[in-house]
Homo-oligomer: A and B are copies of this chain.
Amino acid sequence: MNDERSSTEKTGRHSPTIRDVARIAGVSIGTASKALNANGRLRQETRDKVTRVAREIGYRPNDMAQSLHRTRSMTVGVLSTDSFGRFTLPIFQALEEQFADRGIAIFMCNATDDPERERQHLDQLLGKRIDGLVVTARRADKRPPVGPLPPGLPVIYVYSQPDDGSALSLVSDEVGGARLAVTHLREIGCTRIAHITGPEHFEAVLERRRGFREALALEKLTEHPGFYLSGKWSEQWGREAVAKLFDGVPADQQPDGLFCGNDQIARGAAEALRDRGIDVPGQVAIVGFDNWNVMTDAARPPLTSIDMNLAALGQEAGRLLVDMIGGDSIGGIRRLPCTLVVRQSTQR
């Protein structure tokens, strides 16, 4: 770090050039150029170092943009196949930052699940000669691949999967997230864990249920009869499910831990237990899913939850699309890890 800083200081007198960036980063001018132009194959570490140095010495990103401008439109399309919402927002915001840093502008289109409108948008985007395409959705369900697309156009699905598995798809590891939740409940002493979740036509419900069951098996716990309840994504359903699990049920047959499919369900469950004078987390601990702070922070008590790290998904998607525009060929499904965020509802 010290070496770098003193080299940085030496460049203070003239407007920094790519030669300065290369020298200070300890790479060739060709490598520096590749890194800054988001071109070719480079280790992420090298790319990061070069861009950090460029930023530190004030090498102007516009210069990069201009050098690319001749061959590229410097635009990408983001096509949402469902309305924009709570889930696509953090992804979009992270994408936008990634692209803005590289001087790439974003065309934003909303196809609202209407294939004809999607086709229209796609025609328009291709007419603008976009350099790449991001397809995102409100929920992680599978969908037919967009297209037809011109051969070689980089495309990436985020929080969305093409059903033919052809293209690069970035999703959250929801099975892993559910396992985190159950393992955490087990660690704080729960042995009778129930799962209250949303409607089964959501892929997310099936994946989270799979994680729930895998973790029960790993922890050598039993799924008791009636301890899996599928309903709606609402607080109301959380309250109803608690009535089913607790009202008129002998204390030793009630759950002592609830893993809820989203934070709204978890909040409804917490309120319903509160209404019944059942202590959370003392008697029943609760974990939600989504880490949506509007819900987790206002609930009584505040809710432990699983975070899908959608911003990280967006960042990674931005980086990968830039690599693909630079010539890399990347495919397959990548699942990014979820994180457990602990709050009072599991703090015993």
Q: Which residue of B lies closest to A89 (CB)?
A: B84
A268 contacts partner chain B, Cβ-Cβ < 8 Å: yes
Using known A-B contacts A236-B298, A294-B294, determine if residue A108 contacts B110 with beta carbons closer than 8 Å: no
Verify if A41 is at the interface (C-beta below 8 Å from B). no
By beta carbon, the residue of chain B nearest A120 is B100
Please state if A268 and B298 are interface contacts (CB–CB under 8 Å).
yes
Q: Which residue, A105, A107, A124, A267, has most C-beta atoms of chain B within 10 A? A: A105
A338-B141 Cα distance, complex, nearest whole Å: 36
B298 touches A235 (CB 8 A): yes
> How distant is A241 from chain B, measured CB to nearest CB, in Å?
15
A100 neighbours in B (Cβ, 8 Å): 109-110, 117, 120-121
**CB of A92, distance to nearest CB on chain B (Å):** 7
Chain B nearest CB, measured from A65 CB (Å): 8
| CB <8 Å contact, B105 and A105 | no
Q: A105-B125, A294-B294, A298-B236 are in contact. Are A92 and B96 (CB under 8 A)?
A: no
Interface of A is mostly: helix
The answer on a CB contact under 8 Å between A92 and B103 is no
Q: Is A83 an interface residue (CB 8 A)?
A: yes
Q: List residues of chain B with CB within 8 A of the CB of A75.
A: 107, 128
A93 touches B105 (CB 8 A): no
A 67-101 binary contact with B (CB < 8 Å = 1; else 0): 00000000100100001110001001100110010
Question: Does A344 touch B at the CB level, under 8 Å?
Answer: no
A100 to B97, CA, bound (A): 24
B103:A124 contact, CB within 8 angstroms: yes
A234 in the interface, Cβ–Cβ < 8 Å? yes
C-alpha gap A62/B126 in the complex (Å): 14
A106 within 8 A of B: yes
Q: Using Cβ atoms and an 8 Å threshold, which residues of chain B touch A345?
A: none
Q: Which B residues lie within 8 Å of A92 (CB)?
A: 84, 108
CA distance A52 to B267 in the complex (A): 46
A264 contacts B by Cβ under 8 Å = yes
Q: A84-B89, A85-B89, A236-B298 are in contact. List 14 more A-B contacts (CB 8 A).
A: A62-B123, A75-B107, A83-B93, A89-B89, A92-B108, A96-B108, A103-B124, A105-B128, A106-B107, A106-B108, A107-B107, A108-B108, A234-B298, A264-B294
